[in-house]
Amino acid sequence: MNRHLLSAGDLTRDDAELILRTAAELRSLADRPIKKLPALRGRTVVNLFFEDSTRTRISFEAAAKRLSADVINFSAKGSSLSKGESLKDTALTLEAMGADAVVIRHGASGAPYRLAHSGWVHSSVVNAGDGTHEHPTQALLDAFTLWRHLGVGGGLDGRRIAIVGDVLHSRVARSNALLLRTLGAEVTLVAPPTLFPVGVDTWPVETSYDLDAVLPKADAVMMLRVQRERMNGGFFPTAREYSRRYGLDGRRMATLQDHTIVMHPGPMVRGMEITADVADSNRSVIVEQVTNGVAVRMAVLYLLLGGATPGSSAGGDE
């Protein structure tokens, strides 16, 4: 394992499997009345969030607390950042406070790299979403969820995962494409032509404009939110037209194989990319993704901060 987690593409198959196995051991804690381990006692984790977030920030906070770390939550609103402080000065402040890990979400693609490689901080840096670039812990929790449902016995080798919607603005899609490929799955991205990024042909995936053709072959379908806050032009004629072509509704869900699961990273826009009956159906693992997110982030913090693999004495640091 590296000291930082910046991109899902940096993880080898061994790294990713170590995180998933560690998460599996830690997940059993979620079902116990006392959900805490002393593993990171005395360590400090800073959540540095420059963009809005509900589940990712809370998930990292719960993960750090369940490992007994001290957690400092820092959001751009209401801080000196709104007075014009730079990322550098914020980083120097965190360093002076002795942060062991900085979990950063930022609207600019590449901000976590800047923080990790600037020499401003000595802590581990975890990318919790940078612009439209990457969101590696989301991909890890998605892989973990897929693994629990589809991986029984043989991992994800050859499993077909469809990722559907606003690929252009989605850091979740890129991180998943990289990680799922590393884990042996076959990824198909489905979107209208206007919502594919330039250069998608260099990604390790297939692409399609035709959702109805892809659904019957998929073992899992991951729906993406249409990220209106990142759009400044007309990427599709109307919301109704988008839903008709690329939304997952009951009729389309009926064309899935019996074992196929439906995923969404949240936040969902019900009625846009997914209908309420699909989101609440027994194929949906959307709520379970949130539970798994805490276990996966516990595993990441534990391994990055040098915790031993549970049950062994091996170090997890570089």
Binding site for ligand NCD (CB under 6 A): 55-56, 129, 135, 138, 171-172, 225, 227, 265-266
Which of 39, 48 has the CB closer to ligand NCD? Answer: 48
Q: What is the closest distance, in whole angstroms, from the C-beta atom of residue 71 to ligand NCD in the complex?
A: 18
Closer to ligand NCD at the Cβ: 227 or 260?
227
Q: Tokens standing for 54? A: 């509900």
Q: Are the CB atoms for 77 and 62 separated by under 8 Å?
A: no
Give me the least distance between CB of 264 and ligand NCD, in Å please: 9
Task: Find out whether the peptide bond into 267 is cis, omega within 30 degrees of 0.
Answer: yes
Residue 258 one-letter amino acid: D
Query: Whole-number minimum distance, CB 135 to ligand NCD, in Å?
Result: 5
Nearest residue (CB) to ligand NCD, 165 versus 307: 165
**Which contacts (CB < 8 Å, 24+ apart) does range 253-256 have?**
253/277, 253/278, 253/281, 253/283, 255/212, 255/215, 255/216, 256/215, 256/216, 256/218, 256/221, 256/283
Torsion angle of C-alpha atoms 198, 203, 205, 206, degrees rounded to 10? 30
- Measured at CB, which residue is nearest to ligand NCD? 225
Q: Which of 124, 168, 130, 170 is nearest to 50 (CA)?
A: 130
What is the DSSP track for 17-56?
Answer: HHHHHHHHHHHGGGGSSS----TTTT-EEEEEESS--SHH
Distance CA 299, CA 315 (A): 13
Nearer to ligand NCD, 44 or 243 (CB): 243
Residue with smaller CB distance to ligand NCD, 39 or 278: 278
> At its nearest, how many Å lie between ligand NCD and the CB of residue 216?
26
> Smallest distance, Å, CB 136 to ligand NCD?
11
Least distance (Å) between residue 312 CB and ligand NCD: 31
Nearer to ligand NCD, 97 or 276 (CB): 276
